[in-house]
């Protein structure tokens, strides 16, 4: 049951890099929602490689088709199948790599786990798998926006050792994020990142980065303690994105150095109920949203597939020098922005549905 | 379904701070395992408050009883119910706090989510809830140890701004961890931490810290991509522990600054299959264990309940100065060590069972 | 995950016949419900053996205790653990049977599945396991009654070849059912059943029977097609009761002989929306409740444990003549009435919660 | 989560009658299985309408395509997406019926549950939805056959009041079943059934029927008591098939009239472990397979959509005389045979995977 996520808004993805198509089945989408491909395509376009010289040049158009679950542009409450055809289904570029597991890639572990693996392109571990997540997330985001005016904005905070200036959680917009192709709203830092990545691409190397995300207008009360605390499900969701190595929410690792008297967020009276004067909690207390903005950061490692020659061994243990062919992202964070937002939407909508059930049946 | 975790080794916890008892039901424990309370009690003792002057003084004996699921000291394959009685079931110390949500605690969000909350002690958000997790984790750990010789060792890496020297992942033992009451294997740092915490306790304040964990002898092939990658479930498990704010695995956030050529872990031939020369991956590639040690770090915030007076508002929005009564931990990381290990065991055993099903039915 | 049931109202039972206790953890009960042991005990008493000479004489008091999840007599929205102590924890009466699997009992299959089995009393396959179900069902029933005025009434329709007169689905009450110890509202038939069962008891034999159940005031719209159609979950729930062999809803097997023109239920205008003039559908169409009474029947086989000598073989295949010791029910249907009602309540409440989530989030 | 089924072999179906396509995603299929469309198509063909004059004339070719999850004709262990295009996507024949809920059909309940419904053809409640189930079942059946030599054979036992002679559970083959287009292996009865159905078709009426199913070579030990007893999951699976009203296993309802001394199945020594001399248990004891053939019966009601005029009311409660247009099955049982077999395969494979995990990790 590895490729499903959620309890009431449940998504099940499918597809490898070079099969007939990739996609997702959404079970539990609320009925009556106005929905066409145009609601989904923009996030797929933001996720797509080849948007700029800073990501891989492969032209994947990634046009989504709604196979089922809507009629006359409205959801029926039945499973919504979304699909994107794979244009090029012929495994080719990866020939030599079939016998050599790429260091820090999934080739070795997939082979050991399944006793078989897709002969090329990473199969299910490829970033292409995230198309289903992003498509389902776009639908979830629309529900959340229409019901609660929820806003989810992720951006590139750092690439390699270049870090953007701190952003204003309360005002940052997706437009600001998309002002640069690298999706860093600090245009100064963005320019440096782009230069650095262009260099890396030339050199056949790669780099990591950090994506930040804020979610505004979250209803109070979302999250299902104890094992499905809101931050716990967000953490699972983010670490399920390929190439992620870390997650922190609110004060995160830096907060461990503070005193309780410094770290605590005092309550203040607000228009509707209470708010907090500070937000070290990152919008979640005891595993439940408190109405303040939720914000978190995700660490992405440098992509494993690089053109530079790497000394390693083949599946039989023989020493080899691997030079990966094909065109690969030198840095995934610009594309990861849409994936992070989508994953966040999947978590939030599922939690919102569960809380609505509770509210309706409480005494 | 918030209080359940796992697919094949499924645990369901119950209990608030001041009801009749806390515990867990384990569904799916392999049959035939030798199991008595003596296998479970040690980890509960390590989790228990009042072990030293560095944690709360409340004497909770936390004696576990096996209610069901074993006969003649062996598991039957049926649900194992484990229970710890609450000695003091009378809510008392928390009187005034009933009307004042503690800053950064779960009082406010529980009240808003459920429309009701336990009148004292944090109810289900109390650290006491973790007893069920630790008990179930101790059972899981025994299964993993007997089947695969898995070793899980967590320790206090930092408390506040005091950080231990780097530890050797391959050799660190639980004995070394327990050499100091604060469970920091660097005894020099441990002494400083203890002095700092004693001071904080005196001052009525608290501090955070970081727990590190390594898991050795993990079979290759555990983890269920894509949404249940091994690191994703570990992240969920760790962020489900009260007071956690971050998780990172392998190279983590620091790894985002590296080049791919620096970060990749070259494969090397080992006795059984392949290993890696370095371990920036933290023992997991593509969401699946690769046989190398798994290691990760968890950020714990400073405990929210402090004696120092805090300006805040009550549930009605009136300004108040809150001075928390009762005795509370100035720092949770020493006790968190056993919880981290237990959560890790829950994740691993569930994944091991799922992989065994696959292996047995593969072609 | 065999001992859990439900998605939003999720119950996890535990306990064998001769361990320390049996019980259940309920996760997802709506908060704020007034709940004490007195709400649960009556159905446990109706389920209990030894209520009359028609069932086993063992005196099991089965007093339930709420371990967690309530405070001041109201539910907190947290897991509710309910427990009943086992009075006699010493396996004794079953000595000889340890080596001889009782025909048509679970001794053989449990041993083969788990490689171990409880040495006595059927362990987890014992009817005693149903205590957890009945306790959780009593809570669910209260929620359904208070929220929707749902009424669930089961009764003994037949025992052996003695069948009660047809009952009025719209008016039958639990009081009418309990008017005879055998829980057959046709007192004439009840008397015959009792005489027959007394004879069987004397003879050391047993008989089967059929339980009917009607559920009134079910909200329209419950059931989650396609795999979790309302009748599908009811069927699972009923076949999960020990000793059941069949389930039919509405027109059932007899309806297969009708023409569509005879079988179809024409719609008629009612006060609130539509109703149907007849009810061959049994209150469910397309897997979803239509507001009419839901009714169904469950077949119970004759209990397998009988005193009459049976030629069979032991675990090693040696021919033996088995004479079961101990006191056993000659007919389970009188006690099964409460179990059927409880299972129905578990299904309905879970479906109601899921539908409320949908309603709240529809467009 | 209504359209998913299974824990380790988990299927998620999608598609209405008149959207772009219908299909299924299978998560958890064992890797390395040889699999092409040719393994799946035969059961889809047996399920397809228009196979003979006894079912609807619509020509649905129902050609399945494997979208993902295989490479070079072998499964990768990743999600297998299977899809069948809908040839005619224009809702048409159903015009008038949009305002009139068909008696005993799902039109009314779907509208009430979701607040919207597919304008034609029953949408998700259409028999067309079962394509996904049958496709996934065909894959499951191949796994079971190759691993355990499991044989699953269903047949038409009765149509209306015409009943076939009793069949030999140990020898009946799918070839015998397919010898008549109505899939009744008693060719004498089959001829009568066909004549009767031809008459009904002419008359614009419909009839019900009973499908029997036997499963041979089931490994001992499958089934997950207590809530997921093997018969409980079979019951859920069968009642999830459209138009079903009842399920019985082994001695079923008739067995309720027997004495325990008549009904019990004495054990006998067999080559491998024990068998039973009789099989009133239907191959399952205590919720767990005992190695004997599993057999059960399913009641199908007469199809609700008939051409005969029916007095009923429209959605607004106005009296109308409904004459359904379009071509519809007068009797579903011939096509249901493949669906029953597929559902059985889904249940068994999931249980087999779960038991393999247990066996591998037992002590």
Residue B141: closest CA among B361, B355, B347: B347
pLDDT classification of D202: cutoffs 50, 70, 90 = very high
Among all residues of chain D, which has the CA nearest to that of C5?
A: D227
Q: Which two tokens stand for residue A81?
A: 């199948």
Give the pLDDT of residue A125. Answer: 77
Provide the terminal-to-terminal Cα distance of chain A, rounded to the nearest Å. 35
Angle between helices C37-47 and C130-148 (to 10 degrees): 130
Quick one: average pLDDT of B294-302?
A: 98
C319 strand-pairing partners: C313
pLDDT band at D119 (very low <50, low <70, confident <90, very high): confident
Pure H helices in chain D: 37-47, 107-114, 130-148, 174-177, 187-203, 230-239, 260-263, 333-361
- Is A241 within 8 Å of B286 (Cβ atoms)? no
Give the pLDDT band of residue B61 (cuts 50, 70, 90).
confident
Cross-chain Cβ contact B352/D361 below 8 Å: yes
Asked whether D119 and D94 are in contact (CB, 8 A), the reply is yes
Task: Flag whether pLDDT at B92 surpasses 60.
Answer: no
Distance CA B13, CA C26 (A): 10
pLDDT on residue B123: 75
Partners of residue B28 in chain D, C-beta under 8 Å? 358
A304 is in an annotated binding site: yes
Task: Let me know if A204 is exposed, middle or buried by CB neighbors in 10 A (0-12, 13-18, 19+).
Answer: middle
pLDDT at site C308: 96
Whether pLDDT at D184 is above 70: yes
ipTM value, please give it. Answer: 0.97
Q: Do B79 and C123 touch (CB under 8 A)?
A: no
Q: Which residue, among D129, D122, D116, D118, has the nearest Cα to D102 in the 3D structure?
A: D122
According to DSSP, the β-strands at B64-66 and B80-85 are antiparallel
Please tell me the predicted confidence (pLDDT) of residue A144.
98
Test mutation, B66, B71, B122, chain C, max C CBs within 10 A: B71
Q: How far is it, in rounded angstroms, from Cα D164 to Cα C94?
A: 45
Closest Cα of chain D to A41: distance in Å?
18
Higher-scoring residue by pLDDT: A17, D337: D337
Say which range, C126-135, C162-171, D204-213, has the weakest mean pLDDT.
C126-135
CB proximity C108 to D under 8 Å: yes
In this prediction, what percent of chain A has a pLDDT beyond 90?
85
pLDDT at residue B50 greater than cutoff 80: no
Do the bridges between strand B74-75 and strand B70-71 make them parallel or antiparallel, or are there none, so unpaired?
Answer: antiparallel
Per the annotation, where are the binding residues of C for FMN? 124-126, 286, 301-305, 327
Choose among A74, A147, A354: nearest Cβ to C357. Answer: A354
Nearest to B3 among A221, A226, A315 (CB): A226
Quote the percentage of chain C above a pLDDT of 70.
Answer: 94
Mean pLDDT lowest among A55-64, A97-106, A173-182, D139-148: A55-64
Of B163, B102, B232, whose CA–CA distance to A274 is shortest? Answer: B102
The answer on pLDDT for B317 being more than 80 is yes
CB atoms within 10 A of CB C279: 18
Rounded average pLDDT over D241-254: 98
pLDDT of D207 reads 98
Is D12 in contact with A25 (Cβ distance < 8 A)?
yes
- Count CB-CB contacts under 10 A for residue D92: 12
Q: Shortest CB distance from C68 goes to which of B16, B65, B79?
A: B16
SS3 category, D144: helix
Q: Do D10 and A4 touch (CB under 8 A)?
A: yes
> Which of D2, D134, D286 to probe by mutation at the C interface, max C CB count within 10 Å?
D286
Interface of A with B in 14-73 (CB under 8 A): none
Cα–Cα–Cα angle for D93, D98, D104, nearest 5°? 95
Instruction: State whether residue B286 sits within 8 Å of chain D by CB.
Output: no
Read off the tokens for D265: 């199945």
pLDDT tens digit sequence for B94-142 = 556 678 999 999 999 999 999 998 886 667 878 888 999 999 999 999 9
Q: What is the pLDDT of residue A18?
A: 84
C274 contacts D101? CB cut-off 8 A: yes
Q: What is the DSSP letter of C325?
A: -
Question: Of the given ranges (B187-201, B327-341, D51-65, D156-170), which has the lowest mean pLDDT?
Answer: D51-65
Least confident of A101-105, C42-46, C98-102: C98-102
Instruction: Please tell me whether residue D156 adopts helix, strand or coil conformation.
Output: strand
* B9/B21 Cα distance (integer angstroms): 23
pLDDT score for B97: 64
Asked whether the beta carbons of A143 and C361 are under 8 A apart, the reply is: yes
3-class secondary structure, C33: coil
| pLDDT tens per residue, range B344-358 | 999 999 999 999 999
Whether A233 has a binding-site annotation, put simply, is: no
Mean pLDDT of chain B: 93
Distance between CA C219 and CA C343 in Å, rounded? 18
A359 touches chain C (CB under 8 A): yes
Q: Do D357 and B361 touch (CB under 8 A)?
A: no
Strands C74-75 and C80-85: unpaired
Q: Give the Å distances, CA to CA, from D343 to B262, C192, D130, D133.
A: 52, 41, 10, 7
- 8 Å CB contact of C257 and D200: no
pLDDT band at D271 (very low <50, low <70, confident <90, very high): confident
Host H or E run for residue C143 = helix C130-148
Q: How many interface pairs between C and D have CB atoms less than 8 angstroms apart?
A: 385
**Under 8 Å CB-to-CB from D126, ≥6 apart: which residues?**
D16, D17, D242
- The answer to whether residue D1 scores a pLDDT higher than 60 is no
Look at A113-127, B6-20, B182-196, B258-272 and tell me which has the smallest mean pLDDT: A113-127
Rounded CA separation C156/A17 (Å)? 59
How many CA atoms lie within 13 Å of A342's alpha carbon, on the beta-carbon side?
A: 28
- Rounded to the nearest angstrom, the minimum Cα separation between C353 and chain A is 5
Mark yes or no for CB contact D15/A124 under 8 Å: no
B47 is in an annotated binding site: yes
C242-247: average pLDDT:
98
D204, with CB counted inside 10 A (0-12, 13-18, 19+), is middle
- Domains of chain D plus CATH, in order, are 4-361 (3.60.150.10)
pLDDT tens digits, A139-167: 999 999 999 999 999 999 999 999 999 99
Lowest mean pLDDT among A75-79, C115-119, D186-190: C115-119
Q: What share of chain C is helix, strand, coil (3-state, %, to 5)?
A: 30, 25, 45
**Residue A301 labeled ligand binder:** yes
- Whether residue D322 has pLDDT greater than 60: yes
Backbone angles phi, psi at B24, to 5 degrees: -155, 150
pLDDT digits (tens, 9 = 90+) for D276-317: 999 999 999 999 999 999 999 999 999 999 999 999 999 999
Alpha-carbon torsion (C340, C342, C348, C354), positive or negative: negative
Cβ count within 10 A of residue D311: 13
Residue C3 structure tokens: 């001992």
Mean per-residue pLDDT, C220-241: 97
**Reported confidence tier of residue C45, pLDDT bands at 50, 70, 90:** very high
- Calculate mean pLDDT across residues A251-266: 98
| pLDDT interval class at B1 (50, 70, 90) | low
Angle subtended at Cα C81 by Cα C77 and Cα C83, rounded to the nearest 5 degrees: 155
Q: Round to the nearest angstrom and report the end-to-end CA distance of chain B.
A: 35
pLDDT tens column, C268-317: 999 878 999 999 999 999 999 999 999 999 999 999 999 999 999 999 99
- A348: Cβ contacts below 8 Å, ≥ 6 apart: A140, A144, A150, A152, A215, A218, A222
Peptide bond into B226 cis (omega under 30): yes
Per the model's pLDDT, the better-predicted residue between C95 and D247 turns out to be: D247
Asked if residue C242 lies in contact with residue C287, where contact means CB atoms within 8 angstroms, the answer is no
Q: Let me know: does C315 contact C322? Beta carbons within 8 Å.
A: no
- Distance from the Cα of residue B37 to its chain's centroid: 20
What DSSP character marks residue C97?
G
Tell me which chain B residues have a C-beta less than 8 angstroms from the C-beta of C11: none
D302 is in an annotated binding site: yes
When pLDDT is averaged across residues A332-338 and rounded to a whole number, the result is 97
Average pLDDT over residues C247-258: 98
> How would you list the strands of the sheet with C21-27, edge to edge?
C4-5, C10-14, C21-27, C80-85, C64-66
State residue D279 phi and psi, 5-degree precision.
Answer: -140, 50
Say if residues C11 and C136 touch (Cβ distance below 8 Å).
Answer: yes
Token reading at A243: 């190439």
User: Which tokens hold the place of C36?
Assistant: 């004490």
Distances (CA, A) of D155 to A303, C149, D168, D212, D328: 55, 43, 12, 5, 21
State the average pLDDT over residues A260-275. Answer: 94
Query: What does the pLDDT average to over C55-68?
Result: 76
Q: What is the pLDDT of residues A187-212, one digit of tens each?
A: 999 999 999 999 999 999 999 999 99
The alpha-carbon radius of gyration of chain A (Å, integer) is 21
Residue of chain B with shortest Cα separation from C81 = B14
**Does the beta-carbon distance from A15 to D79 stay under 8 Å?**
yes
For the segment D128-182, what is each residue's pLDDT rounded down to a tens digit?
889 999 999 999 999 999 999 999 999 999 999 999 999 999 999 999 999 999 9
- Cβ–Cβ contact A7 with C under 8 A: yes
**pLDDT for D25-66, tens place per residue?**
999 999 999 999 999 999 999 998 877 655 554 555 899 999
Phi, psi (rounded to 5 degrees) for A310: -125, 125
């Amino acid at each position: 049951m590895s490729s499903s996520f959620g309890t009431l808004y449940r998504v099940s993805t499918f597809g490898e890099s070079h099969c007939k198509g990739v996609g997702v089945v959404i079970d539990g989408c609320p009925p009556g929602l106005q929905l066409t491909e145009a609601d989904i395509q923009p996030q797929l376009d933001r996720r797509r490689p080849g948007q700029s010289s800073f990501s891989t040049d492969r032209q994947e158009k990634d046009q989504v088709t709604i196979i089922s679950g809507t009629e006359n542009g409205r959801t029926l409450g039945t499973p919504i199948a979304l699909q994107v055809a794979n244009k090029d289904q012929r495994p080719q570029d990866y020939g030599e790599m079939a016998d050599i597991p790429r260091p820090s890639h999934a080739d070795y572990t997939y082979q050991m786990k399944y006793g078989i693996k897709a002969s090329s392109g990473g199969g299910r571990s490829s970033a292409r798998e995230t198309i289903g997540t992003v498509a389902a997330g776009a639908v979830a985001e629309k529900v959340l926006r229409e019901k609660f005016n929820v806003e989810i904005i992720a951006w590139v905070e750092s690439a390699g050792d270049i870090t953007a200036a701190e952003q204003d959680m309360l005002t940052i917009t997706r437009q600001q994020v998309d002002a640069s192709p690298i999706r860093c709203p600090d245009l100064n830092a963005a320019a440096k990142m782009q230069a650095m990545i262009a260099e890396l691409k030339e050199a056949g190397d790669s780099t990591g980065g950090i994506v930040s995300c804020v979610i505004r207008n979250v209803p109070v009360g979302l999250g299902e303690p104890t094992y499905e605390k809101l931050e716990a499900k967000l953490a699972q969701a983010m670490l399920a994105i390929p190439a992620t190595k870390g997650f922190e929410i609110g004060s995160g690792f830096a907060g461990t150095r503070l005193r309780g008297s410094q770290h605590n967020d005092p309550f203040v009276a607000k228009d509707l109920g209470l708010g907090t004067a500070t937000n070290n909690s990152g919008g979640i207390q005891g595993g439940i949203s408190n109405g303040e903005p939720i914000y978190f950061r995700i660490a992405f490692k440098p992509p494993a597939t690089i053109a530079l020659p790497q000394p390693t061994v083949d599946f039989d243990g023989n020493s080899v020098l691997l030079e990966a062919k094909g065109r690969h992202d030198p840095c995934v964070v610009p594309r990861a922005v849409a994936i992070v937002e989508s994953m966040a939407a999947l978590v939030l909508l599922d939690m919102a549905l569960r809380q609505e059930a509770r509210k309706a049946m409480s005494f």
